[in-house]
Amino acid sequence: MSNSAGFDRHITIFSPEGRLYQVEYAFKAINSANITSLGITGQDSAVIISQKKIPDKLLDPKTVSYIFKITPSIGMVATGSIADARAQAMRARSEATEFRYKYGYEMPVESLSRRMANISQLYTQRAYMRPLGVALTFIQVDFADEGRGPQIFKCDPAGYFTGVKAVATGPKQQEATTYLEKKFKKTDAVKGDWQKTVEFAIIALSSVIGTEFRKNDIEIGVATEGEFRILTPEEIDERLISIAEQD
Amino acid sequence: MTSIGTGYDLSNSVFSPDGRNFQVEYAMKAVENGGTSIGIKCKDGIVLAVEKIIQSKLLIPKKNKRIQTVDRNIGVVYSGLLPDGRHFVNRCRDECQSFKSIFKTMMPISNLMDRMGIYVQNYTCYNSVRPFGIVSIIGGVDNEDGEPYLYMIEPSGSYWGYNGAATGKGRQIAKSELEKLNYEELTCLEAINHAARIIHLSHEDNKDKDYELEISWCSKEHTGGKHQFISDDLLEQARKLAEEEEEEEDDDEEEEAGADDEEMAP
């Protein structure tokens, strides 16, 4: 830790190599929940999938979730500290609501992602507040007349945000990104309807992590034209059965 | 990873190189020294209980209540720094009142948890404040869907729903007892006796000090979903059962020990 001596205690301070250590440490916090999540584009849908872990027998599984509905059409998966995740979800909702009130139309996912990334950037430059230890993946499918189709954006604690075909977050990010890069080399989207895209997402996450999932091991959010919804365990089971039948 | 003396623990809202916030973890330590609190979710309501260590004989029994009501149908109990707990409860009450004044209906418990989660999380973000030194168990019968809900919230601001929740000094023993209960079938009346027994068991490690038992409930059948303290009769009965059970166990152990002795004899 010789290089970081003293320069990593405060957000506003650059180290001699020009690094912001506190921001780098915030990225470590993203892996602390030990949950990996993916965002996948389909032809007319976008899907987010996240591992779901219930470590304590006394927990009520219904209340354990990292996927949030932000507006009727925008969904978000937040990977990292759950307290920070909920704070970000609340902020995103209020930003989207304010946008709707001010400008008279639903907030596009790109604008929301840019706004959330800008807020994160502030936390890397101002002393008063720490960065939040979560990475956010937003999805939305635009209305047909707007023409943008299915979209995925990822925002991180450094204030960086980017639109992607597919994206992974969490401890298995590296492996998952390699897997997705291979699959999306020649295509922009998973072929087929939203069910097919969900099945692709399940297979992708399952092979990266190296375990077979049951319906209570994962949670899934699906965006279709102008609508976002979270699948119930029964709906997830239907997709798992469909995958099993294809084998 | 060592957790002290690295310098990352000297102020709040600083990430350590592995992405932790030590001040929040130290706040958890403050909680672990407090008296045990538990919450049980039943099919017809919830039960909250707390072990109050008697610090002085001059304290008047049954005054100095630790469980508090935040809205007519919601109760809160906590372990850790008691003044932090009172601040927390005051904020809960403010949230419930402001919700009611805007929406003209009682606040759903999940909404209250969303707001309190953010409030507690906020105290981990700035170095001009410190985190809350409490873990709170919040329970009640929801006004919206009439279902019982039980949550536990930590100094980091993270919270989840629980069937049975325990915090404070005796949480390990309490948790292993809570895991044995059948939450599908459990009723509030049964849960009161379990709560008394579990608090009694978790007091085992702290036996040199006396304690006072406090139990409250929200039961659809018995309190109409309102949060109330249980009657003195019920409390007395539950405590007696817990003590008798302990004596029986002691007797069993003695008998077993005696049998072993006989076998050992030539």
CATH number reported for the structural domain that contains residue B68 in this entry: 3.60.20.10
- Distance (Å, whole) CA B152 – CA B50: 14
The CATH class that applies to domain A26-246 reads: alpha beta
Q: What is the residue extent of each domain of chain A?
A: 26-246
- Distance (Å, whole) CA A219 – CA A201: 11
pLDDT for position B91: 98
> Is B48 part of a structural domain of the chain?
yes
- Distance (Å, whole) CA B94 – CA B70: 9
ipTM of model: 0.88
Q: Which two tokens stand for residue A162?
A: 């980017």
- Distance (Å, whole) CA A234 – CA A104: 37
Q: How many domains does chain B have?
A: 1
For chain B, give the number of residues. Answer: 266
| Residue A209 and residue A59 in contact, taking contact as beta carbons nearer than 8 Å | no
> Is B152 part of a structural domain of the chain?
yes
Ranking A7-11, A227-231, B111-115, B218-222 by mean pLDDT, the lowest is A7-11
* Mean pLDDT over each residue of chain B, to the nearest integer: 91
> Is B225 part of a structural domain of the chain?
yes
* Interface membership of B59 toward A (CB under 8 Å): no
Residue A164: alpha-carbon gap to chain centroid: 11
**Residue for token digits 């400008």?**
A103
Tell me the pTM: 0.90
| Residue B225 and residue B218 in contact, taking contact as beta carbons nearer than 8 Å | yes
- Check whether A192 has a pLDDT greater than 50: yes
Q: Which sign, positive or negative, has the C-alpha torsion B84, B85, B91, B95?
A: positive
Q: Angle A123-A134-B5 (CA atoms, 0-180°, nearest 5)? A: 75
Query: Which residues are A168's β-sheet partners?
Result: A38
Chain A residues lying within 8 Å of B1, measured CB to CB: none
> Is B11 part of a structural domain of the chain?
no
Which of A13, A60, A120, A134 to mutate to probe the B interface, most B CBs <10 Å?
A: A60
Q: Identity (one letter) of the amino acid at A222? A: V
Q: Which two tokens stand for residue B186?
A: 């459990």
- What are the DSSP calls for B140-198, one per residue? EE-TTT--EEEEEE-TTS-EEEBSEEEESTTHHHHHHHHTTS-TTT--HHHHHHHHHHH
For chain A, give the number of residues. Answer: 247
Fill in the DSSP letter of residue A42. B
- Contact between chains at B114 and A22 (C-beta distance less than 8 A): no
Candidates A8, A28, A59; nearest CB to B18 = A28
Range with top average pLDDT, B2-11, B28-37, B252-261 = B28-37
* Interface membership of A57 toward B (CB under 8 Å): yes
> Is B68 part of a structural domain of the chain?
yes
| Residue A129 and residue B15 in contact, taking contact as beta carbons nearer than 8 Å | no
The mean pLDDT of B133-151, rounded to a whole number, is 96
Closest chain A residue to B152, measured at CA: A59
- Check whether A135 has a pLDDT greater than 60: yes
| Residue B69 and residue B133 in contact, taking contact as beta carbons nearer than 8 Å | no
Which of B8, B15, B123 to mutate to probe the A interface, most A CBs <10 Å?
A: B15
| Residue A24 and residue B146 in contact, taking contact as beta carbons nearer than 8 Å | no
Which domain covers residue B198, as residue numbers? Answer: 22-259
Q: Starting at the edge strand that comes first in sequence, how are the strands of the sheet with B211-219 ordered?
A: B164-167, B37-42, B45-53, B211-219, B227-229
- Considering only residues 13 to 52 of chain B, which have any Cβ-Cβ distance to chain A shorter than 8 Å? 13-20, 41
pLDDT in tens, B75-117: 999 999 999 999 999 999 999 999 999 999 999 999 999 999 9
Residue B36: alpha-carbon gap to chain centroid: 7
Which of B160, B179, B182, B198 to mutate to probe the A interface, most A CBs <10 Å?
A: B160
> Is B13 part of a structural domain of the chain?
no
> Is B3 part of a structural domain of the chain?
no
- Contact between chains at B165 and A82 (C-beta distance less than 8 A): no
